[in-house]
Amino acid sequence: MTPKRTVVVAVAVAVGVLASVLSYIFLNGAQQRAYHNAKLVPAYVVAKPIPRMLTWTDAVNGGYVQKKSVPAEFRPTAAVTSLAALQGKEADAPFSVGQVVVTSMFVSPIAAANTFSQIIPAGNVAVTVSVDQVHGVAGLPVPGDKVDLLISVNNTESPLLQNVPILAIGQSTTANTNTNAQNATQTAATTANPSSGLFTFAVSPSDAARIALAEQQAMGIYMLLVPPGNPVVSIPAVTPDGILSGPQTSS
């Protein structure tokens, strides 16, 4: 190779390296700007759709999960930050790309072998609705809680069902526990419902049909979180004209 050609090749290589460095700097800066310079923390994120019962080892070795940096405020409390945390466990359900991996997503092989249908009470079926955080009590309910369901019909807010048990939120059927009650509630809510807005209830087949119709007709399902042992009471329908007709104090 002539000296002139050697110089040309060297210059081309140098330009390529410089272009790669500049691209990295630009993309890294763009990501920081997209996150508004938020503090970034490590987390494992689903990179390929994970099938149910896939082992954590196979998920890692097969490139199903990748370690990424995410804004600290968006990382769930129970997010997995160590590969050793889920050794020997299997996916409890199918998981889609982009989900942050949390501890409840992978369980023991015995738990993973149990089907979701086994937790549905006899005579009931499972039905899922999608609600935003305003209609879903700010995402505070966790699996095991009960809610009342209201719907909007002809500009009137009316009760649909009461004391409806929540089987799952998103793809989580369990809520974390903690010795501190307040922390337990916050942790469970974060783990069970990472902004999914999907609530699965256990109801009779006829009630499932009513819920499905309300969802299909976009009647605006509104959830009311109720305390344990809450009695079924008569809830009157409310119209715009009747908003101010009730008592002025809450009992």
> Who wins on pLDDT, 93 or 23?
93
- At 21, give phi and psi (nearest 5°): -65, -45
Q: Helix, strand, or coil here: 172?
A: strand
Q: What are phi and psi of 126, to 5 degrees?
A: -100, 135
Q: Whole-model pTM above 0.85?
A: no
Q: Residue 184: what pLDDT?
A: 38
**CB-CB contact of 158 with 151 (8 Å):** yes
State the pLDDT confidence band at 4, using cuts at 50, 70 and 90: low
> For the ranges 176-185, 210-219, 220-229, which has the lowest average pLDDT?
176-185
Which one is predicted more confidently, 164 or 193?
Answer: 164
Chain-centroid distance, C-alpha 49: 15
What is the model's pLDDT at position 178?
38
In 3-state terms, what secondary structure has residue 25? helix
The rounded distance, in Å, linking the Cα atoms of 205 and 109 is: 31
* pLDDT attached to residue 21: 46
Query: What is the rounded distance in angstroms from the CA atom of residue 189 to the CA atom of residue 238?
Result: 30
Show the domains of the chain with their CATH numbers.
40-113 (3.90.1210.10), 116-240 (no CATH)
**Mean pLDDT (the chain, rounded):** 77
Percent of the chain, pLDDT > 90?
A: 31
Weakest-pLDDT range from 47-56, 112-121, 187-196: 187-196
Residue 246's pLDDT band (cuts 50, 70, 90):
low
